[in-house]
Amino acid sequence: MIKNDLFLRALKGETVDRPPVWMMRQAGRYLPEFMEIKHKYDFFTRCQTPELASEITVQPIRRYGMDAAILFSDILVIPQAMNIEVEMKPNFGPYLPNPIRSQKDLDSVIIPDIQDSLGYVMDAIKATKEKLNDEIPLIGFAGSPWTILCYCVQGQGSKNFDKAKELCFTNPVVAHSLLQKITDTTIAYLKAKVEAGVDAVQVFDSWGGMLSPTDYQEFSWQYIQQIIDALKDITPVIAFGKGCWFALNEMSKSGASALGVDWTCSPRNARYLSGGQITLQGNFDPTRLFSPPATIKKMVHKMIDEFGKDRLVVNLGHGILPNIPLDHAKAFIDAVKEYKAS
């Protein structure tokens, strides 16, 4: 039994004294102890070495005592496993030297054996669960099929993912085939993570907001729905679409346990658009963590009041930035722990 199950209770919609809190990207680059490991090992070595991945996962928990841990990994381990080369270039980010832009490119993309290609992730989960010792739940995650396609087609990060969208609009057959391969792989991957011991999963649709509402349904949401349908009976699923406030109503009917909300949507609007009956997660602007700690605490309490303390997981509206002062991150976590309903 997990000792602090506040996060899981909030996902079920139970009444709580205060909402649970964790931060997207909490395992990582703003922590000095993470930077020490980063200087010794390259990115994918960190992901692929269970001892390192589990250590990085628990570092922020030791420091701040969040209510949930999220496994240190990366969304791009999926294309790697699918026979698509992925490099992580320093000061550049992800680079895929052979982007998928035609049927011929797609022919070399496989649906892998998960244990064979991604077994190291399952080993990291088991190592992390040992370290957490049932104190708090562990979250596993994957990128949405659309977000993964963006990298696979563009070949790198982008402000608009124009090449990815061009493929969807000029060669939808190839785009949908790639999306389905990614979806099938992701479902198998997340099921394996649940078997290995994660207590919930989150699907990150980081680039969903690049699409119009109509195109979002066609190229992103229908694939996320497949993932939710496959996982919802075995674990809680959180769906997070950055910039996708327009889809909150549809998402709320999906069977997901919670929906992530970014900072561009007010708590009131998020509750209204999602129908008021589903747990929401978010939605503090990560850049707001540069504000003085006293301001952060005041703003967090106001945010919780606006959402309501129940059916809420307090989080940032996207990942924590690398240059956030440590005591500001602490102020964010402490503000939630100190919350009393007014």
Closest CA to 205 of 233, 228, 189: 228
Q: Which helix (H) or strand (E) holds 258?
A: strand 258-261
Q: Under 8 Å CB-to-CB from 104, ≥6 apart: which residues?
A: none
Phi, psi of 203, deg, nearest 5: -105, 120
Which residue matches tokens 């708590």?
A: 267
Q: Within 10 A of 327 (CB to CB), how many other CB atoms are there?
A: 11
Q: Using alpha carbons, list the distances in angstroms from residue 239 to 200, 227, 254.
A: 11, 10, 9
80 assigned binding-site residue: no
DSSP code for 298: H
The pair of structure tokens assigned to 203 is 């699907």
What is the SS3 string spanning 220-234?
HHHHHHHHHHHHCCC
Closest CA relative to residue 7, chosen from 100, 111, 177, 137: 137
Report the length, in residues, of the chain: 342
The answer to whether the annotation marks 206 as part of a ligand binding site is yes
Is residue 9 marked as binding?
no
Q: Which tokens belong to 292? A: 């003085």
Q: Show the CA angle centred on residue 339, arms to residues 336 and 342, nearest 5°.
A: 145
Query: How far from chain centre, in Å, is Cα 187?
Result: 15
Tell me if 29 is assigned to a ligand binding site: yes
- 44 in a known ligand binding site: yes
Q: Taking every pair of C-alpha atoms in the chain, what is the biggest distance, in angstroms?
A: 61
Distance CA 314, CA 121 (A): 26
N-terminal to C-terminal alpha carbon distance within the chain: 31
DSSP strand pairing (138-143 vs 87-89): unpaired
> What is the residue whose two structure tokens read 């939710």?
228
- Return the amino acid letter for 107: D
Write out the binding residues: 25-29, 44, 74, 151, 206, 318
Write out the binding residues for substrate: 25-29, 44, 74, 151, 206, 318
